[in-house]
Structure formats: C-alpha cells, structure tokens
C-alpha cells in the first residue's frame, strides 16, 4: 500500500497527518518524506539516521581533444544546457535534465559522463517506523529526480506513507505517481479551497482514488465541505482548530504525543483508506 499525502498549498498540515498516522499504525510502516526542498517529518518522528547516500545525476563533460565543434549536442539539448561556440563548448550543469541526448548524439564520443549532486537521502528508524527522506542540495533547482530516488525505497510489502511537496506541478506529480491513494489535506478557508480544487484536478488527471482530511476545522467557512459534497469526495477526518495542537506542533510534538486518544482516529483514517483502495481493486 502506497499513500501519498498532498495538499496543493503548503502549511495545511500534510506532515502532521502523515507522521501521526504512521506512529498510530500497529503494522510495519515506511515513511518517505518527498518534500525534499523543506523536509520536516524528521523533526517530529525523530528517527535515528543510520544510512546516508549522496544522489548524483548525469551531466555532460566535453573532451576537447576529441570535439570537432560540430554543434550536434547543442542542437539536441532542449534545456540550453550546452552551447557550442567556434572553438569552445559551454555546459550549464544546473540546467541539465540528464536525458543523455548529447552523449548519444556525439559522433566523436567527445561527450563524457560527469555528475552533479542533487542532494542526499537519509534512512533510519523511529520505533516501528522505517524513515526515509531526501534533502535537496541548496542551489539545486530540480527536485523530481531526487524525489524519484527516494521513492525507489518504497517497500511494497509494507504500508508506505509519502509526504509530498506543496503545489500541483512536477515535484508533486513525481511524489503522487504510482501511489494507491492520494490523501489531500486542506483547511476551511478560501485559500485552502482554491488550492484543494487544484490538487483534486491533479490527482484526477493521474486517475487515482482520493480522500480529504480537513485540518483546523472550525476556523473558517464551510466552502470546503460544500465543495467535497458537490464533487462526491470523501471527507475522512476532521482535526479541530486547537491551540494545544498548534503549540505542540511548534515544539516538534505530534498530536498523539499530547492527545493519545487520537491514535484511534488516525488508525480509523488508515482503515477508511484501506477500504477505499480495496473496493477499487475489486471493480
């Protein structure tokens, strides 16, 4: 089972829902923080990290003893990462998408493999939770390849909870792809609703089942509920606006740390998701 938690907008409580659900389950669970620009789940799970891997990606390097400046590498590159001048070839590693087109197209085999660091993956353990996250290198623009590298550590035999980055563009799609279920977290405000609608459209484009958790319930209007009813989207859990929760969060504590009775509710959330996914499998 792979559940990706997304939200359209940031700050809605994605990480809160993810970590609380992970620690509440009484089965083996993997938590994969794919918000590689700003990974935060480790601050709550406090996993002991026992493995660190640097993730690299291909970038070209030109061997000038072989290069004839024919220009073919510059022509194939769609990302302006190679510019061929009269007697020099400029490469812009940070623009490279690692498609290896330049390597393939060079008639002289003058383009060679080099690499740039995308970031690191750390893996560890917090109780019964196997924890994995990626941290994008500062200055690195492209997060999807690092997100894909984190997702290679999904263990299909377990419950996998993926914390996605905010938004609805390529990093989120990279985090959602291949999941069995998309859990969207929102809040009952016009901003929350606006971004929820975008997130729902993204999930529907990927054709996967979805459900919603409403965070900070009671602190806004009823726009989200009417939208969910209209669109026939299940509201799986409501977390009330509670200063106690906000303060616990500010200290790096989880809801179940300060209100252990919520374990049952997060377990219930998982069971509802499992029910929906199993029903999908039957049809």
Cβ atoms 132, 123 nearer than 8 A? yes
Based on the shown chain and the rule CB under 8 A, indicate whether residue 92 belongs to the binding site for another protein. Answer: no
Contacts of 169 (CB under 8 A, 6+ apart): none
Which of 104, 112, 271, 280 contacts another protein by CB under 8 A?
104
- Closest CB 141 distance from another protein, rounded Å: 4
* Torsions phi, psi for 224 (to 5 deg): -65, -45
- Closest CB 211 distance from another protein, rounded Å: 19
* Range 52-71, binding another protein (CB under 8 A): 58
- Closest CB 157 distance from another protein, rounded Å: 22
| Nearer residue to another protein within complex by CB, 90 or 246 | 246
Residue from 232, 237, 234, 168 nearest 196 by CA: 168
Which of 152, 221, 231, 264 contacts another protein by CB under 8 A?
221
Report the DSSP pairing between strands 129-136 and 82-84. unpaired
* Range 135-154, binding another protein (CB under 8 A): 136, 138-143
Segment interacting with another protein, rule: CB under 8 A, options 22-30, 213-221, 232-240, 268-276: 213-221
Query: Tokens 């390597």 belong to which residue?
Result: 103
Segment interacting with another protein, rule: CB under 8 A, options 3-11, 48-56, 62-70, 260-268: 3-11
* d(C-alpha 58, C-alpha 100), whole Å: 8
- Closest CB 146 distance from another protein, rounded Å: 9
Based on the shown chain and the rule CB under 8 A, indicate whether residue 202 belongs to the binding site for another protein. Answer: yes
Which two tokens mark 67? Answer: 């290069």
Helix, strand, coil percentages, rounded to 5, for the chain: 35, 30, 35
Segment interacting with another protein, rule: CB under 8 A, options 22-30, 124-132, 242-250, 267-275: 242-250
7-46 burial, b at 16+ Cβ within 10 Å, e below that, comes to bbbeebbbbbbbbbbbbbbeeebbbbbbbbbebbbbebbe
Segment interacting with another protein, rule: CB under 8 A, options 109-117, 149-157, 183-191, 226-234: 183-191
Which of 12, 20, 91, 123 contacts another protein by CB under 8 A?
12
* d(C-alpha 175, C-alpha 165), whole Å: 8
What length is written for the chain? 283
Based on the shown chain and the rule CB under 8 A, indicate whether residue 244 belongs to the binding site for another protein. Answer: no
Count of Cβ atoms closer than 10 Å to residue 202 Cβ? 20
Binding-site ranges for another protein (CB under 8 A): 8-12, 15, 36-38, 40, 43, 58, 76, 78-79, 97-101, 104-105, 136, 138-143, 165-171, 173, 177, 189-191, 194-195, 198, 201-202, 205-206, 219-221, 246-247, 249-252
């Amino acid at each position: 089972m792979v559940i990706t938690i997304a939200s359209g907008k940031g700050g809605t409580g994605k990480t809160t829902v993810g970590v609380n659900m992970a620690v509440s389950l009484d089965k083996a669970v993997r938590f994969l923080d794919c918000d590689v620009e700003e990974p935060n789940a480790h601050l709550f799970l406090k996993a002991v990290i026992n493995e660190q891997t640097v993730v690299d990606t291909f970038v070209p390097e030109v061997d000038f003893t072989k290069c004839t400046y024919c220009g073919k590498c510059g022509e194939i590159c769609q990302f302006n990462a190679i510019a061929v001048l009269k007697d020099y070839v400029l490469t812009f590693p940070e623009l490279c998408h690692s498609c290896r087109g330049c390597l393939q197209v060079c008639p002289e085999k003058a383009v060679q493999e080099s690499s740039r660091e995308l970031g690191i993956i750390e893996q560890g353990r917090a109780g019964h939770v196997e924890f994995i996250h990626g941290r994008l290198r500062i200055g690195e623009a492209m997060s999807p390849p690092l997100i894909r590298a984190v997702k290679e550590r999904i263990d299909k035999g377990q419950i996998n909870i993926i914390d996605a980055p905010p938004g609805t563009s390529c990093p989120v799609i990279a985090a959602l792809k291949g999941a069995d279920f998309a859990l969207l977290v929102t809040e009952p405000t016009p901003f929350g609703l606006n971004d929820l609608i975008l997130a729902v459209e993204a999930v529907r484009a990927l054709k996967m089942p979805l459900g919603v958790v409403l965070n900070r319930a009671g602190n806004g209007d009823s726009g989200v509920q009417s939208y969910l009813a209209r669109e026939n989207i299940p509201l799986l859990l409501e977390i009330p606006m509670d200063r106690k929760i906000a303060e616990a969060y500010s200290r790096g504590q989880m809801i179940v740390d300060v209100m252990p009775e919520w374990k049952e509710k997060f377990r219930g959330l998982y069971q509802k998701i499992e029910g929906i996914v199993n029903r999908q499998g039957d049809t």
